[in-house]
Amino acid sequence: MALRDKLSAVFSVKDSPKKIAVSFAIGVFLGMSPLLGLHTVLGIAAAWIFRLNKFVTIVGVYITNPWTIVPIYTFATWFGAKLLGMDKIIPDINWNDISFSYLMNEMKPLLIPFLVGTTLVGILSSIAGYIIIYHAVVKSRQTLK
């Protein structure tokens, strides 16, 4: 099922618009988190702990996917760096002496901007997601009446 189909299916979920919107917003926040590889597990756990709709939470998590994760993480890192007052965020890489440990060492200064950026972008995106989904569900239900 494509993401567009999953988003359409969100409107047919038999929960309140508030619960659907909260479920989606939590999913979006977790999907933007820096915990790559744990998004789905965290989404299911959060839905279970907070008694949210699991399907809708996972749809929110899957806003970030292999096609969107690189631009989202790149923007979030840039955003975090700008908020922290960092002017230079792209390290100078010596491509003649490239190794995994060399790259990890060069990328260390980006860790804090990455964490700050993904957290703040996640919060802002989840707020926007809540508002959009809430109003879309309410409107779609009014249309069906």
Q: What is the pLDDT of residue 85?
A: 93
* CB-based contacts of 54, cutoff 8 Å, min separation 6: 23, 43, 44, 47, 48
pLDDT for residue 141:
85
List, in order, residues 6 or more apart from 109 with CB less than 8 Å away: 86, 91
| pLDDT, average across residues 71-83 | 94
Mean pLDDT (the chain, rounded): 89
- For the stretch 50-61, pLDDT in tens is 999 999 999 999
What's the pTM value of the predicted model, to 2 decimals? 0.86
Has residue 138 got a pLDDT over 70?
Answer: yes
pLDDT for the residue numbered 1? 63
pLDDT in tens, 81-103: 999 999 877 777 777 777 888 77
**Secondary structure (DSSP) of 67-115:** TTHHHHHHHHHHHHHHHTT-S--S----GGG--HHHHHHHHGGGHHHHH
pLDDT of residue 99: 81
Segment 14-28 mean pLDDT: 96
